[in-house]
Amino acid sequence: MLQCKKSFLTNSIIGYKEKYRFIKNVLPSLQCKNYSSDNERYLHKSKVPTMHFQPSLPRLPIPRLEDTCQRYLNAQLPLLDATHFEDTKRLVANFQLEAGKDLNQRLIAQDKANKHTSYITGSWFDMYLRDRQPIVLNYNPFISYIDDPKTEYNDQTIRAANFLISAIRFRETLNAGLLEPEVYHLNPKKSDTETFRKVVRMLPSSLSWYGAYLYNAYPLDMSQYPSLFNSTRIPEIGKDRLVRFEKAKHVLVMRGGHFYVFDVLDKDGNLLEPLDIYSCLKYIQQDPIAPSQHPIGYLTAENRDTWANAHRLLKENHSSQMEAIDSALFNLVLDDVGTDNDPVKISKLFLHGNGANRWFDKSFSLIVAQDGKAAVNFEHSWGDGVAVMRFINESLKDSTEKPRVHPHEVAGMAPRRDFDPSYHVKRLEFQLSDRLKAAVSDARQRFDQTTGALTVNLFIYNGFSKHFCKEQQVSPDAMMQLGFQVAYQLQNGGTCSTYESCSTSAFKHGRTETIRPCTSQTTAFSRAITASSGKHSQTEMRAMIADCSKVHGQLTKEAAMGQGFDRHLFALKYLAQQQSLPIPALYQDPAYAAINHNILSTSTLGSPAVELGGFAPVVHDGYGIGYSIQDNRLGAVVTTYPPHRSGSDFASCLQSAFSRIEDILRKKN
């Protein structure tokens, strides 16, 4: 940072009277650029404190047991033949009257004793942290940013520096309680106003949610937001831990499988000068060291117990290095490969990469490719998409609309005398034992084998858009899910268990609920539209689409309001296991296993900041579908594991499915 010379000027050069005139008239125009100012430190300054609504958020409701049982049967109906459905129906009836009733009473009592959180929180964290599968492909998704509209700002180092600055500004705004609270406005003209903010701010936090409710505005849970930064997942035998380090002020940067750290905040919490941050990143980018021969990042992609054993060995001789990695604000990855603007290459690079230049345990990694393409890959146990999407939206907006590092400033920039990046940047050194080298080698082999088996296909359909759906008075999301069902029918015949994630962040410590898009209505339509007989009229087919949309809308509403069946049944089973009670017969029914073997695993990514997003299938004979429907088109990233499934064939079936649906919607009766 350029050093101010106030003291020198005012005490050594001029006399007393001159000093007075200098301080009064001249000095204000010579102020050094101060990145401790609020305008530089914060994204914005919300009038309503960030966590103002948190104490009064409603609690996630436990659905009525009879409602859960009926919803479960409704979801099973299109998946089972008549005989198996009757068997399941009997098991559900017994469960509702006997074992399920007792478990539900216990769950309600437990929930009443833990009013500070939700009934799903403990079991959901436990589910994630006890799973011994590798988190790569099985859990970590990616979400990629659109390019900076100013092409010259897509230089890798410039973009990484601007993203880093915006990310720290987001963190500082959050920590200061100045980040605008997340609120869902049903009527933005009425509630997304200064009057609304003034009114709810005056209310005590214990009542603030109710004030927002009167405006038809619904504050969302923000308890996950602090875990975005300075946090990591620590591997341990049997069950991992989530750890936060609130005082660390350094960022972790990876390049070539090596780890670098440097402080981006000073002792007073002020952000390092932008050009100094750029200089540090450029120094790392130009480090002549060869790529790591034994990149330990591969270990984070291992079976969690395998990684826990290796982690223990690493900490024996590299305790400070491991703490530097774990405690870092976040992980910024500089990749030495580009994407050629190829959606498949983009997806594979940001979903898993080559494994050497990744640390999958950090709460999130912001990855910038050689050509400036950028994405977030995040560990899923600490939180869900709501917090990550807010970060992505804010960081893109800030880094593109208010970039702090500019191409003209750094073009041909000579080494600066007042700032030496080699003094600030530290490369973490690892001297691995033969045992650890062998562990890395094994991990690399397994990683290459696993990721090599995954295929990625991109599907885009122009013209079928949000606007078109609204014109036709059908739900855009319902049409996306209907297209998946029709495509599956075309490719495979029949139906399959389908999962769509839905946030329950309208409630305190809400996580997600499952929407079950495979319904009796979508099944009837899929069979009708793929039948060769064509016995249904245009009017009948149009009415069937409307029914599919209506039912899907109702399922979505129920899930968002905590009225699905999946989390409730999951919590009851978990409770039985925790209290060493007999596991009810319902959970041993093959139909229960089948509906939780999600062949079609889907998640929507609706944001103008997002170019692509995706994840791997959750079962080896399934599909992972990250999708979006935009103002002018719809699309999906489809992942599969051949030979179990063909993603390219499914993408072709999607093309046919949406073409058929569009034809029906466009034709007049």
Other beta carbons within 10 angstroms of residue 61's beta carbon come to 15
pLDDT at 534: 74
Q: What is the per-residue pLDDT for 36?
A: 59
User: Which alpha helices (DSSP H) does 504-563 contain, by range?
Assistant: 520-530, 538-560
Copy the structure tokens of residue 657: 């499915």
More confident residue, 12 or 123: 123
Q: What whole-number percentage of the chain has pLDDT above 90?
A: 89
Please say whether the beta carbons of 279 and 341 come within 8 A: no
- How much is the pLDDT for 5? 31
Transcribe 368-382 into DSSP letters. E-TTS-EEEEE-SSS
Catalytic residues: 380
Residue for token pair 């978990």: 574
DSSP structure class, residue 98: T
3-state secondary structure of 485: helix
Residue with tokens 């996306």: 480
* Interstrand relation of 455-462 and 633-640 (parallel, antiparallel or unpaired): antiparallel
| DSSP class of 265 | B
Mean pLDDT of 490-511: 97
Tokens of 184: 């869902």
User: How confident is the model over 527-552, as a mean pLDDT?
Assistant: 93
- Hey, CA dihedral for 478, 481, 487, 491, is it positive or negative? negative
The torsion defined by the Cα of 591, 596, 598 and 599, in degrees rounded to 10, comes to: -20
| Dist. CA 223–CA 226, nearest whole Å | 7
Evaluate if pTM is beyond 0.85.
Answer: yes
Structure tokens given for 579? 């209290």
At 301-318, the pLDDT tens digits run 999 999 999 999 999 999
Given a cut of 90, is residue 245 above it in pLDDT? yes
* Residue 668 confidence class, pLDDT cut points 50, 70, 90: low
Share of the chain above pLDDT 70, in %: 94
Judge whether residue 12 has pLDDT over 50: no
Residue 494, burial from CB neighbour count under 10 angstroms (0-12, 13-18, 19+): exposed
- Non-local (6+) Cβ contacts of 403 within 8 A are 153, 158, 162
CA dist 388 and 371 (Å) reads 23
Which pLDDT does position 669 carry in this prediction? 53
Query: What backbone torsions phi and psi does residue 405 show, to the nearest 5 degrees?
Result: -115, 125
Structure tokens at 454: 């995954």
CA-based R_g, the chain, Å: 27
pLDDT at residue 413 in the model? 82
Residue 181 phi, psi (nearest 5): -60, 150
Tell me the H-state helices in 98-154: 99-112, 121-130
> 217 Cβ partners below 8 Å, 6+ apart?
183, 184, 185, 186, 187, 191, 192, 196
Rounded CA separation 39/191 (Å): 26
Give the separation between CA 596 and CA 566, rounded to whole angstroms. Answer: 9
Which tens digits make up the pLDDT trace of 378-428? Answer: 999 999 989 999 999 999 999 999 999 999 999 988 777 788 999 999 999
Collapsing DSSP states into helix, strand and coil, what is residue 271?
A: strand
Instruction: Report the chain's mean pLDDT, rounded to a whole number.
Output: 93
Between the alpha carbon of residue 156 and those of residues 74, 335, 358, 426, 506, the distances in Å are 51, 9, 17, 21, 38
In the chain the first and final C-alpha atoms are separated, in Å, by: 70
Token readout for 212 is 């927002």
Structure tokens at 280: 């540090």
pLDDT at 26 over 50: no
643: preceding bond cis by omega (within 30 degrees): yes
Query: Residues 660, 529: contact at Cβ < 8 Å?
Result: yes
pLDDT digits (tens, 9 = 90+) for 627-639: 999 988 999 999 9
- Return the DSSP state at 472: T
Q: What does the pLDDT average to over 281-293?
A: 97
What pLDDT score does 20 carry?
40
Q: Does residue 573 surpass a pLDDT of 90?
A: yes
612-625 pLDDT tens trace = 999 999 999 999 99
* Predicted pLDDT at 448: 98
Q: Give the pLDDT score at 605.
A: 87
Confidence of residue 29 (pLDDT cuts 50, 70, 90): very low
Contacts of 138 (CB under 8 A, 6+ apart): 131, 616, 618
| Pairwise CA distance, residues 610 & 142, whole Å | 10
Averaged over 469-474, what is the pLDDT?
Answer: 95
Angstrom distance (rounded) from CA 349 to CA 338? 9
The closest alpha carbon to 558, from 67, 209, 118, 79, belongs to: 67
